[in-house]
Amino acid sequence: MDLKYSPEEIKAIVEAQRTFFRSGATLPVDWRIRQLKTLKAAVLSHEKELVDALKQDLGRSYVEAYLCDIGPIVVEINEIIRGLRRWARPERHFSGMMCFPSLFTKVYKMPYGVSLVISPFNFPMLLTLGVVAAAVSGGNTVVIKSSSKSAACTAALKKLIAEAFPPEYITLIDGGHEVADLCLEQRFDKIFYTGSPAVGKHVLEAAAKNLTPVALELGGENGNWCVVRRDADLKDAARKIAFFKLCNAGQICININQVAVAEEVAEAFLEELKKAFVAQIGDQAENNPEYPCLITDKAYDKCAALSEEYRDRIIFGGRGDRESRRYAPTIIYPVDKDEDIVRHELFCPLLPVVPFRDAEVDALMETIAEREHPLALYLFTRNMKWARRVMQTQQYGGGCINEVCVHLMVKGVPFNGTGHSGMGAYHGEWGFREFTHPQTVLEGSNRFNLPLREHPYGGKAEKWKMRLLRLFER
C-alpha cells in the first residue's frame, strides 16, 4: 500500500509539535490572539481559492460557500478574539474554612498540548478551521487530518496553513483512512473528530490506548427528526425545510433526515413543500448549476439506489444526473416510522415523510426518544408550551422551534451532540473549554496552621476537633 506518509514521518511531526508546545510559546494569551488574527487574515486572503475548491468538490455556489463555510469561520474567530482574555483568566475562589489558613484557590485553564483534528468532507473549511480556532484559543498545537473525499478543499487548506503557520505549530496532513490510522497510532493530548458514529467508535478505541481525551461531533445513528404538527404554519415550515434540504444537497450533520407530519394536514403540507422546492431551485434541480452535488460517485449511486427502492412512493423528484453528481430533492411518502430508511442517517437529498395522528404526537416523541440520540431536533407548531416541554425532555444535540439550523449560528452557545451524535461541545467559549483542562491550585500558608487534620483523633482532641469540623462544614 502506497502511503503519502510513513509512520516515522507522522511520529516526527507529532514530536516536533510536542517540543514546540513544551517550549511554552503557545501559553501567552496575547500570542494566541495574534495567531487567531493570522488565521482570519489567511482565510480572507485565500477566499477565492477556498470558494473555488468548494465549487470543485461540492458544486457550491459562491453565496452558499460563503454562507456555510467562509463567513462562519470569520464570525467564530472574531468571537474568540473578543472573549479570549476573559475566558483564559485564572479563576480565584475562597478556599473555605476547612482549608484555613489557606484562604484562596485558583483554577488555571491549561491547554492539553498536541491536538489532532480530523475533519470531514461536507463542510471542509468550517469544520476544519472552526475547530482549529478553538484549539488555538486554548493554547494547543494542531495536527489536521482533512478528508481525502474533498481533495480540492484539502489542497487549498494545506496551502493556507503552510503559508500562515510553521509545521511545528499547525500542520495539515492529507491522505486517506490509512493515514488517519497512522495519526491515531500516535499519542496525542486531545483528539477532535467530526464524522460518522461508526468511525467515531474507531477513533475512541484508538484514543483509549493512550487514555487521550476525545471530542466527537457525529451525525447520529438514526438521523434528525423534524415534526410538523397540525397547528403549524405549513407554508413557513415547508419553505424552511426545503431550504435546508437543498443546502449542500442534504450532506449536513444537522440536516433533517425525515419529516413527521400530522396526517390531518399532510396533503396540504406536501403541496407547500413541493412548491417551495420549485420556487427555490426550479423543477429540474439536477440541471441547476446553483444546486450542490454529492461528494463522490459512490455517494451518488447510494442515493440513487435507495431512491429506486422507494420508487413507487416518490411524489416529487427522484431524478439525477450522474455525470454532475446532482440528485434532485426527493420526497418519499408515506413512510412508516419503523421502516429502515428512517432508522439511519441518509446524508443526501432524499426526504422520507412519516404521517402520524396529531393526537398521538407524544407517542411519536417517545419512539424518537427510544432511538439513538440525534444531533438535532426541529419542531413546527403554534403550541409553544408543548414544544418547550419536548425540547426540555428529549435528548439531542441542539435544535429549533419553528425554524431550522440557525441555532448553529448563535454566538456564545455550545454545539454538539450526545451519545451516538457526539460528546463534548465547542463554538466560542465552549470551544476554549473543550481544548483546555481546568487545573485547581490551592495557595498554602505556613502561618496559623491548626493541628485539626493531624493525629491524634481520639482522647481529648476528639471533642474539640469534631466541634470545629461540624462548624466548618456548614
- Give yes or no for a contact between 345 and 258, defined as CB atoms under 8 angstroms apart: no
User: What is the C-alpha separation between 257 and 195, in angstroms, rounded?
Assistant: 16
Strand-pairing partners, residue 191, are 116, 214
Residue of 258, 251, 321 lying closest to 284 (CA atoms): 321
User: What is the C-alpha separation between 129 and 72, in angstroms, rounded?
Assistant: 10
- Give yes or no for a contact between 112 and 140, defined as CB atoms under 8 angstroms apart: yes
Q: Which residues contact 363 (CB under 8 A, 6 or more apart)?
A: none
Q: In what order do the strands lie in the sheet with 398-401?
A: 314-316, 330-332, 350-356, 256-262, 224-228, 376-380, 398-401
Q: Is 454 a catalytic residue?
A: no
> Dihedral of CA 225/229/234/237: which sign?
negative
Query: 153, 226, 247, 253: which one is catalytic?
Result: 253
Specify the DSSP element, H or E, that contains 257: strand 256-262
Q: What are 247's three cell numbers? A: 443546502
| Angle formed by the axes of helices 126-137 and 29-45, nearest 10° | 160
- Give yes or no for a contact between 400 and 407, defined as CB atoms under 8 angstroms apart: yes
> Dihedral of CA 261/265/267/273: which sign?
negative
3-state secondary structure of 327: strand
Q: Which residues contact 351 (CB under 8 A, 6 or more apart)?
A: 241, 245, 250, 256, 258, 259, 329, 330, 331, 332
Any idea which residue has 475533519 for its cell? 119
Strand ranges, E, within 60-189:
91-94, 104-111, 114-118, 141-145, 170-173
Q: What are 8's three cell numbers? A: 516515522
- Give yes or no for a contact between 218 and 417, defined as CB atoms under 8 angstroms apart: yes
Strand-pairing partners, residue 93, are 105
- Give yes or no for a contact between 76 and 130, defined as CB atoms under 8 angstroms apart: yes
Any idea which residue has 493570522 for its cell? 38
Query: 64, 76, 79, 217: which one is catalytic?
Result: 217
Specify the DSSP element, H or E, that contains 260: strand 256-262
Q: Is 226 a catalytic residue?
A: no
Query: Which residues are tagged catalytic?
Result: 217, 253
